[in-house]
Structure 1
Amino acid sequence: MELAENLQRHRTNGFSNTEALVVRRGAPFQITVQLKGRPFDPRTDSVRIKVTLGRLYAVMPVTFSGRNPSSRWNAYIDPNNLDFQRLSIFVSSPASASVGRYKFQLYVSSQDGQRSAVVGDFTMLCNPWCSDDAVYIPFEDQREEYVLSDSGLLFMGTPLNLIARPWSFDLYEPGVLEACLDLLKVSPQHIKNKRKDYMNRANPVYISRVVSAMINSEDDRGVLKGNWTDDFKQGVSPSRWTGSGDILRLWAKSGYSPVKYGQCWVFAAVMCTVMRVLGIPCRVITNFNSAHDTNGNLVIEEYYSETGQKLNRSQDSIWNFHVWVECWMRRTDLGQDMDGWQVLDPTPQQRSGGVFCCGPAPVKGIRNQRTDLIYDIPFVYSSVNADVHTIILSGQDHVVGFSKDTEKVGSLICTKAVGYPRMQNITGDYKYLKSTIPKQNMNDNVIISTGSFYLSASTSKGVTVFLTLTKSPVAGEPIVFLVKVMNKQKRPKMMNIHLNAQAKEYNHSPSETFWEKHGAIQLAPMEEHILPAQYEEVVGDDLINLAVVLEDIATRERVLASEEFNISSPELIIQVAEENSMVSNKEFAATVTFTNPFSHPVSGILTVAGAGLIAGTNQASQTITLIPNMAGVKMLQASLSLLDTNITIRGFKMISINSI
């Protein structure tokens, strides 16, 4: 089966640890047939090849001409190597061949009769290098990133304080390819009608919908069980996973029982692994301030008390961030103007066609509000475009303040940049961008990025209030912020002021108030007043909702400014000895350093992982031994889980491995 040469030609040499040949459709692969006895005689002898996928099969005669239609299977003898004792044969599949594990059979006919031999198996993947393939992507650097790269970054936190979390996609780790093929095999579509499923696997739209549903376990024997509570005793906390390989192997080893537990970034990262393994270009996307609009009116209502406490009064919600994937494919079902990146969301939120999956929704369709097209464009459109109505309620639930924000939802949509460990802003792909700093209309909340500062502003007829964080919040340091109040009228004002801080999870409303402060200020006509404030109950990995409510004592008019922000944890520093001279299959040493920023001693468990650098995930001391098993750019990542807290401190380093 000429494994080494074929793996190199098909850019599948990362899968060299699997037993069967792995090839990409639409490109020829080479086999060599050794004939015993006499040489092959083209006048009296013939060779046929049969490939089988389930009950689907193709039989092709081996010819002497390589000029055969690319739309069907064909085979030909290498014209540059006419050794009739040892036949060199190229087998070419159509660019629309179905993805899966094929059986390969050879028939040799002569005047003496016919002989056959089962040569073995091979795995067929999609081919983004083939212009006739529906997943063809025309740029080599993008193919390297979105198909071949086995590591990446997932972005979390808030738009003004991004956390770049390392993730190992583990494409080439033992058992991962097999688990990805098993995922197709145990899907409801395959179990219901194997022949139809095998035929449909020619289409990346079909494959992507099957995978989107199979990553979660709501309707099937899917890979992951979601859990958005604080109780992970029956499994692993989603924040503890460092890569897809452990999850996929555990799922396959358990007989396809769902792995506990996942949240949105885990669902998306595992789906990215499966799609890249199957040959479909894929990248992980983060939508900051992602709307979950339950009634479809493109409005999210957020409620606050008179003293600035955020209330849980609505079925709608805004997640600080939500993570999905995009896959690149042609949309022959929708027309070529919908080709390109397609949103797929494996996190179970609502049913699509009766199943918990989402997409593929063309990004171009989302941008142009083509809600008439399949699949799930209205749902994704609302996630990035809904308006936010902020309502202040009195103790009797009367509305005493109102503001509208058209900028908050989908304020930043991003992914990892091609070839570099940094963020790429793709918000403009999803929506027509307004001015960077919107006009401050009456009663509009405005979120403005000013370097490392946070600024939330709200205005009414009589007063404007600004809530400003003076620097990015860091674990172990107090949160310092300013409240600036401007009297816009030519009469003095007496104002009550209420400050409120609540901790929250990224995907739901805040918990009870943990810090508050109340007071009153006197404002002269047209006066501007600045109040410095700070609090120190800060823990790493926290998200905080901070709000200020001003009340004009004379008019009872109220105005609110609020900001949600995350606390940055310190980073682990990774250093590698002889970093610039690393080659495969040679031993190297790396060290991990942690500087404690807290005012008290801490202890924890250090975990190190690196696909292609070390085997599996290891608990480690500060010094780690690396043995790279293949050339290329690899990620070494480390995480320190502090005991008695929910804090995990992380670090990563990209390492270039040279061939020997």
Structure 2
Amino acid sequence: MDCMQHTRHNIAADDCRLKHVNFEVQENHSSHETLGLSNQLLVVRRGKPFKLTLLFRSRAWDPHTENLMLEVWLGDLSERVPVQFFVAWSDCLSWSAQVYPGDLHQQSVTVHLCSPVLTSVALYDLLVHIETNWGRRSYKVGSFVLLCNPWLKEDPVYMPLDVQLQEYVKSDFGLVYMGSNLNVCKRPWSFGQYEPGVLEACLKLLQVSPQHLNDKQRDYIKRVDPVYLCRVACAMVNCNDDLGLVEGRWDGSYTGGVNPTAWTGSADILRSWVSSNCNPVRYGQCWVYASVLCTVMRVLGIPSRVVTVFNSAHDTNGNLQIEEIYSSKGEKCEKLGLSKDSIWNFHVWVECWMRRPDLGPGFDGWQVVDPTPQEKSAGIFCCGPCPVVAIQRGCLSVPYDTSFIYASVDADVVRLIVRDGLVVGRTVDTQWVGQLIYTKSIASDIPENLTWAYKSKRRGNPAINLQQNIMSKSQTLLKAARSHPDILSNPLQGETRMFSSLEVSLNIDRVPSAGESICVCVTLTNRANCHRVLKEHVNAQLKQYDSSPQESFWKSQQELHVQPGEVLTLHHVISPCKYESVLGGEDIVNVAVVIKDMRTKERVLATEEFNISSPQIIIEVEGGDRIQMRKECIVHVSFTNKFTKTLCGAVLTVEGSGLLKGKQQTRLMLLQPGQKIEKKVSIMASSPGTKLLMATFSHNNSLSIISRGFHTVSVMTEFY
């Protein structure tokens, strides 16, 4: 980099003059594990030396008569770093600049500059000063980016294993798990940290944060701390109270933006935000927020991964209970103002890896950071970082937001059966919330089960005595019901017996694929010593993952006679024609049964929720999944109609960043049952690495995409 003379103070004509500084970008990027993060800037990691070669004009630097001084600037903060001949590296507590033996040449010198291990993550300016007894000549020589260093043991984000660093820092491809705990689906995501402009966008995110705009110097100083960086970045990924990245929408109307399900990577979102002068990108939902935050964290050097909680609770009132309302016929209903609590079939957040000296021993490791704007934390829409181990141990007072996150994975569900404004049945389910917690495994597409990292195997609410848990929650619910007399005019009437003699369970025999019947099994156990006459109501509804169900698409009822001690198994079959006309690509099915004792009027509820598997899209690469860079390859993509009906306006779409230009589609006016729609595409990769092919299928009968498929290919250089 050519030097720009900054200041000059009365130096003789034959003094040492700086001509050029070589930032040794390729070597430094390789040494600092930052290759590909930027083509414009030097990107290095804190606490590790990096090389600068200083070239002089007329003669070499004379260390006997001239002092060589580097000066590092961050905003209005600066530190002067004298260049010394190598003796031994310091303890990484201060900036140092050293010349190794043999690095001083006739017209150049190589300097190794090293920051303290706890240095702020930011873009720095670098000056070089040549000083003598008669004056000083100064040069502004350029800028460099300093990131966290998870390869360095002294850094709070240090991660010990290379395979972990590869997966949680360097990998630019991931999977997001979605659907339901009975039928987990995976969606690919390109984190895109090596895409042009992504590093710069992440740095800009910090620069336009309220913390920086309100007090630049304080913000720069606090950026040494990964906890602080997490909270700033988490708040900035949503746009609810700042110039943040993504605007959320869950109402199904995405006019003026992009349907959240259409996003496949972070790079487009980050670049769109920058190019729009920090206007939020529309629209996102939880997996978009989390995946973008994961990109930002990996860019900043903080190991991170995307985590999905199945049956995640949003506990607005902090009582560790979520209420759900069902009709006496098994229809799941709106909450009717009882509370704003909810349960999402899945919710996605981020875990970041770091030590937590601010919390004392025992809370290091993975920390939950959730950028989806749900509740405010210290006045802003962010959540975490919260130690996963604090959630498992039930240490609800540990910052940040531990009680809220604990409820997300371990709240109890109180299901009320309501008829004519009266509570006529009540069950408490301590197992529903947080049934499954997944993340992508290291170097594998197989999910890693994190459930017991969050949940103690000795389950229970840490705020209540475990032996009195259910009874205490029942009393809490009665208090809540009494506060809503307009909805539950007599909540005490028909209170469910805590130990019923009638046991009911509902199970799905096998999670069906689209075009297959739904097989429901209801099991009744009569533990009473008398004959019982029962009324069974079974009901099925479609719902979105984050909302209450729609109207029922299937119902059944019958009268049953059960002998004392008898176990009765009932099978119900819901044919595809009952749900195909209303099925959307992202829908969940809620099935519930209410059993009523005709004599005692006791009612017992059992329920299950699951997603129907989408028909598979087949993607096959001729010659295998290892392809050569800049060599054309043929890919065959196909979809077979597994539905029982003809699909109108069928569209098969194929895309692949770094493999295809734009989207390629094939269309059929009518796709008969069992008929196949196919597309042959030619791909060519211009860069090595893992690339992603995406395919979607839609038709006019549905407003949403019916099926998604993806396929990864490994791109080798020309000489592999």
Check whether TM > 0.5: yes
Task: Tell me what 2:12 maps to.
Answer: none
Q: 2:438 aligns with which of 414, 428, 436?
A: 414
Q: Which amino acid aligns with 2:704?
A: N
Task: Tell me what 1:656 maps to.
Answer: 714
Q: Which amino acid aligns with 2:280?
A: P
Task: Tell me what 2:26 maps to.
Answer: 4
Task: Tell me what 2:598 maps to.
Answer: 553
* 1:32 correspondence with 2:53: yes
Task: Tell me what 1:122 maps to.
Answer: 144
* 1:470 correspondence with 2:516: no
Q: 1:618 to 1:76 in 2, by over 3 A?
A: farther
Identity of aligned residues (%): 45
Q: 1:49 aligns with which of 59, 67, 70?
A: 70
Q: 1:600 aligns with which of 626, 646, 654?
A: 646
Shift of 1:459: 10
Task: Tell me what 1:534 maps to.
Answer: 573
Checking the alignment, whether the CA contact within 8 Å between 2:652 and 2:695 is kept in structure 1 is: no
Q: 1:209 to 1:615 in 2, by over 3 A?
A: farther
Task: Tell me what 1:447 maps to.
Answer: none
| SS of alignment partner, residue 251 of structure 1 | helix
* 1:345 correspondence with 2:370: yes
Q: 1:278 to 1:638 in 2, by over 3 A?
A: farther
Task: Tell me what 1:494 maps to.
Answer: 533
- Give the Cα–Cα distance (whole angstroms) in 2 for the partners of residues 530 and 51 of structure 1: 75
Q: 1:128 to 1:616 in 2, by over 3 A?
A: farther
* 1:639 correspondence with 2:686: no
Checking the alignment, whether the CA contact within 8 Å between 2:626 and 2:713 is kept in structure 1 is: no
Q: 1:509 aligns with which of 542, 548, 556?
A: 548
Task: Tell me what 2:589 maps to.
Answer: 544
Q: 2:401 aligns with which of 373, 376, 385?
A: 376
Q: Which amino acid aligns with 1:380?
A: I
Shift of 1:350: 0.8
Task: Tell me what 1:253 maps to.
Answer: 275
Checking the alignment, whether the CA contact within 8 Å between 1:574 and 1:652 is kept in structure 2 is: yes
- Give the Cα–Cα distance (whole angstroms) in 1 for the partners of residues 217 and 683 of structure 2: 45
Q: Deviations over 1:459-518 (max 9, x none)?
A: 964433332211112112221222233333443322211111111111122222222112
Checking the alignment, whether the CA contact within 8 Å between 2:625 and 2:712 is kept in structure 1 is: no
Q: 1:367 to 1:75 in 2, by over 3 A?
A: same
- Give the Cα–Cα distance (whole angstroms) in 2 for the partners of residues 490 and 657 of structure 1: 70
Q: Which amino acid aligns with 1:527?
A: E
Q: Which amino acid aligns with 2:311?
A: N
Task: Tell me what 2:382 maps to.
Answer: 357
Q: Deviations over 1:217-240 (max 9, x none)?
A: 110111111111011112111111
Q: 1:442 to 1:5 in 2, by over 3 A?
A: closer
Q: 1:427 aligns with which of 436, 451, 460?
A: 451
> CA RMSD, aligned part only?
2.3
Give the number of the structure whose alpha-carbon radius of gyration is greater.
2
Q: Deviations over 1:396-417 (max 9, x none)?
A: x222222211111111111111
Shift of 1:581: 4.8
Checking the alignment, whether the CA contact within 8 Å between 1:459 and 1:559 is kept in structure 2 is: no
Q: Which amino acid aligns with 1:637?
A: M
Q: 1:442 to 1:7 in 2, by over 3 A?
A: closer
Checking the alignment, whether the CA contact within 8 Å between 2:696 and 2:705 is kept in structure 1 is: no
Shift of 1:11: 0.9
Which stretch shows the higher mean deviation, 524-533 or 625-634? 625-634
Task: Tell me what 1:267 maps to.
Answer: 289
Task: Tell me what 2:248 maps to.
Answer: 226
Task: Tell me what 1:405 maps to.
Answer: 429
- Give the Cα–Cα distance (whole angstroms) in 2 for the partners of residues 101 and 639 of structure 1: 40
Runs of 4+ in 1 over 6 A off after TM superposition: none
Q: Deviations over 1:32-77 (max 9, x none)?
A: 1122212332212332111212112222111111524211111112
Task: Tell me what 1:67 maps to.
Answer: 88
Shift of 1:372: 2.1
Which stretch shows the higher mean deviation, 200-209 or 49-58? 49-58
Q: Deviations over 1:225-274 (max 9, x none)?
A: 11110111121111111111111111111111111111111111111111
Checking the alignment, whether the CA contact within 8 Å between 1:541 and 1:568 is kept in structure 2 is: no
Q: Deviations over 1:105-152 (max 9, x none)?
A: 222335775333322121111110011111111111111111111111
Task: Tell me what 2:674 maps to.
Answer: none
Q: Which amino acid aligns with 2:635?
A: A
Q: 2:42 aligns with which of 10, 17, 21?
A: 21
Listed as ranges, the gaps of 5+ residues in structure 2 are 1-22, 460-468, 472-496, 667-678
Shift of 1:434: 4.8
| SS of alignment partner, residue 124 of structure 1 | strand
Checking the alignment, whether the CA contact within 8 Å between 1:607 and 1:640 is kept in structure 2 is: no
Q: Tell me the TM-score normalized by structure 2.
A: 0.84
**Number of equivalent positions:** 637
Task: Tell me what 1:449 maps to.
Answer: none
Q: Which amino acid aligns with 1:394?
A: R
- Give the Cα–Cα distance (whole angstroms) in 2 for the partners of residues 658 and 350 of structure 1: 46
Q: Which amino acid aligns with 1:606?
A: T
Task: Tell me what 2:480 maps to.
Answer: none
Checking the alignment, whether the CA contact within 8 Å between 2:173 and 2:690 is kept in structure 1 is: no
Which stretch shows the higher mean deviation, 531-540 or 384-393? 531-540
Checking the alignment, whether the CA contact within 8 Å between 1:49 and 1:62 is kept in structure 2 is: yes
Listed as ranges, the gaps of 5+ residues in structure 1 are 436-440, 444-457
Q: 1:184 to 1:522 in 2, by over 3 A?
A: same
- Give the Cα–Cα distance (whole angstroms) in 2 for the partners of residues 297 and 601 of structure 1: 48
- Give the Cα–Cα distance (whole angstroms) in 1 for the partners of residues 539 and 498 of structure 2: 19
- Give the Cα–Cα distance (whole angstroms) in 1 for the partners of residues 665 and 236 of structure 2: 33
